[in-house]
Amino acid sequence: MNYYSLHTLLFIMFICFSCTNEPVEQYAPTPSALKIPKLFSENIIAPVIPSNNPQTVEGVRLGKKLFFDPILSGNNTQACASCHSPKNAFTDTSRFSNGIDGRLGLRNAMPLFNLAWNYNERFFWDGKSFSLEHQAFIPVTDPLEMKSTWADVTEKLQQHPEYPTLFQEAFGTSQIDSTLVTKAMAQFERTLISANSKFDQYLLGETELSGEELNGFNVFMDETKGDCFHCHGSDKNPLWTDNAFHNNGLDETFTDLGLGAVTGDPADNGKFKSPSLRNVEFTAPYMHDGRFTTLEEVINHYSEGLKNSSTIDPLMKKVSQGGVGLSEKDKADLKAFLLTLSDFEFINNPDFLNN
């Protein structure tokens, strides 16, 4: 090699390396890819994981501890898990949840699973929070929920015997702030994946459905009967929700404007996010205000209880008669089908329990 080409080589190498100016040795937590279920990878697009908050073993572990720890609340009595309990697919059983003062919230708590597949990342019943990281900021300071302040929470965590080390392991710094707290919680929440219901097993050819369950699925998919699939997923969309906002005919006038209060557009009044029907057996009561206590009531609503309003979804049909009027058999079968969406493995998964 002669002098000039050596020069050129050195110059090229200089260009190539000139962009990294960080020291080579940097702490990196252990990457931990989400375990994507077969039915999801086959049928729907990849989950949303922000590039500035990759999933790591240490981050998920920390997020889980925080999720179950009442330290996040003003008087150390309430954890996220108080309203989002694993055995109820991470929601609770009351119509409105008690905050730390025993004051009631205004909406029914939401179940938490498959959140990384909410592609447009709009969370809450009205979509007011964009991204899981942002969502986790809210309950901590909500006066009807954990009623704390971030200054107080980070101070308590910083003084805690274990947390500074756990943050060090998860993020390479023991300096705790609200951003890191919410990042860790979002990582844990993304691991809450539910994909092993009887219906999933049926789709994978591992089990059979009864005649009633199959007929119930047909009612769900039949545009002249249930017509639920346009909003609540299908055998090809195993999320069992479109994660979009609709008015499904609950009221003629609205006390809670839902999406309309967020967008300011009256055409959005009374619209709420379609909940997933997965695990619906564990998530009663139903609707944004928990008005229905049983699936029978929900089915009766769609069958004959629809209320007209200017924003009711066009898919709600025969509204003047209250709905399409399902036969008693179709109603019972529809319920039997909905119960095949229960994932018992999910609600008993030790990775998701406080241990």
Partner 1 sequence: MILKKIIPILLIIVAAVFSCSNDDTAPQSSNITFSFSHSWDGTPITNSDFNTIKFTNANGEDLSITKLRYIVSKIIFTKSTGEDFIFEGYHLIDLTNTTSLDFSVFEALPYGKYTNVSFIFGLNNEDNYNNNYQDLNSASWNVPDLLGGGYHYMQLEGKFIDNTSTETGYAYHAIRAVDNSGASLSFEDTFFEVNLGEANITDNAKFNIEMNVAEWFKNPNTWDLNMLNNMLMPNFNAQILMFQNGQNVFSLKSIAQ
Task: Please report, as ranges, the residues that interact with partner 1 according to CB under 8 A.
Answer: 2, 4-5, 8, 42-45, 119, 218, 221-224, 227, 229-231, 233-237, 242, 265, 267, 308, 310-320
What string of DSSP letters covers 63-124? HHHHHT-GGGSTTS---HHHHSBGGGTTB-SSSS-B-TTS-B-SS-----SSGGG-TT-EES
Q: Which does 314 bind (CB under 5 to 8 A by kind): ligand HEC, partner 1, none?
A: partner 1
For ligand HEC, the binding residues in 18-37 under the rule CB under 6 A are none
Q: What tokens appear for 40 in the block?
A: 């999801």
Which residue has tokens 């097993």?
201
84 is a contact residue toward ligand HEC (CB under 6 A): yes
The answer to whether 340 and 209 have CB atoms below 8 angstroms apart is: yes
Which of 248, 269, 340, 342 touches ligand HEC by CB under 6 A? 248
For ligand HEC, the binding residues in 118-137 under the rule CB under 6 A are 123-126, 132, 135-136
Give the angle subtended at the CA of 49 by the CAs of 47 and 55, to the nearest 5°: 115
Q: What tokens appear for 185 in the block?
A: 């919680």
287 is a contact residue toward ligand HEC (CB under 6 A): yes
- Using the minimum distance from each CB to partner 1, give the nearer residue, 135 or 241: 241
Nearest-approach distance from CB 101 to partner 1, in angstroms: 40
Q: Is 16 annotated as a binding residue?
A: no
Q: Which does 233 bind (CB under 5 to 8 A by kind): ligand HEC, partner 1, none?
A: partner 1
Nearest-approach distance from CB 221 to partner 1, in angstroms: 4
Residue 50 exposed, middle or buried by CB count within 10 Å (0-12, 13-18, 19+): middle
- Using the minimum distance from each CB to ligand HEC, give the nearer residue, 72 or 116: 72
Task: Give Cα 21 to chain centroid, integer Å.
Answer: 39
80 is a contact residue toward ligand HEC (CB under 6 A): yes
Nearest-approach distance from CB 220 to ligand HEC, in angstroms: 6
306 is a contact residue toward ligand HEC (CB under 6 A): no
Q: Quickly list H helices, the chain.
A: 3-17, 38-43, 57-67, 80-83, 132-141, 150-159, 163-171, 178-190, 198-203, 211-221, 229-232, 259-263, 295-304, 328-339, 344-348
The SS3 call for residue 350 is helix
The answer to whether 140 and 131 have CB atoms below 8 angstroms apart is: no
Number of CB atoms found within 10 A of residue 257's CB:
18
The answer to whether 345 and 288 have CB atoms below 8 angstroms apart is: no
Q: Which does 62 bind (CB under 5 to 8 A by kind): ligand HEC, partner 1, none?
A: none
Q: Which does 133 bind (CB under 5 to 8 A by kind): partner 1, ligand HEC, none?
A: none
Long-range contacts of 304-307 (CB under 8 A, 24+ apart): 305/249, 306/249, 307/249, 307/250, 307/251, 307/252
DSSP-derived letter for residue 281 is G
Q: What tokens appear for 65 in the block?
A: 């501890």
- Using the minimum distance from each CB to ligand HEC, give the nearer residue, 171 or 272: 272
Q: Which does 286 bind (CB under 5 to 8 A by kind): partner 1, ligand HEC, none?
A: ligand HEC
Q: Is 83 annotated as a binding residue?
A: yes
Nearest-approach distance from CB 131 to ligand HEC, in angstroms: 10
Spatial CB neighbours of 2, under 8 Å, sequence gap ≥ 6: none
- Using the minimum distance from each CB to ligand HEC, give the nearer residue, 177 or 204: 177
CA dist., res. 223 & res. 353, Å (int): 40
Q: Which does 72 bind (CB under 5 to 8 A by kind): ligand HEC, partner 1, none?
A: ligand HEC
Site residues for ligand HEC per CB under 6 A: 72, 78, 80, 82-84, 97, 99, 105, 107, 109-110, 112, 115, 123-126, 132, 135-136, 139-140, 145-146, 185, 189, 226-228, 230-232, 246, 248, 250, 272, 274-275, 277, 280, 283, 286-288, 298-299, 302, 313, 315, 334
- Bind-site residues for heme c: 80, 83-84, 228, 231-232
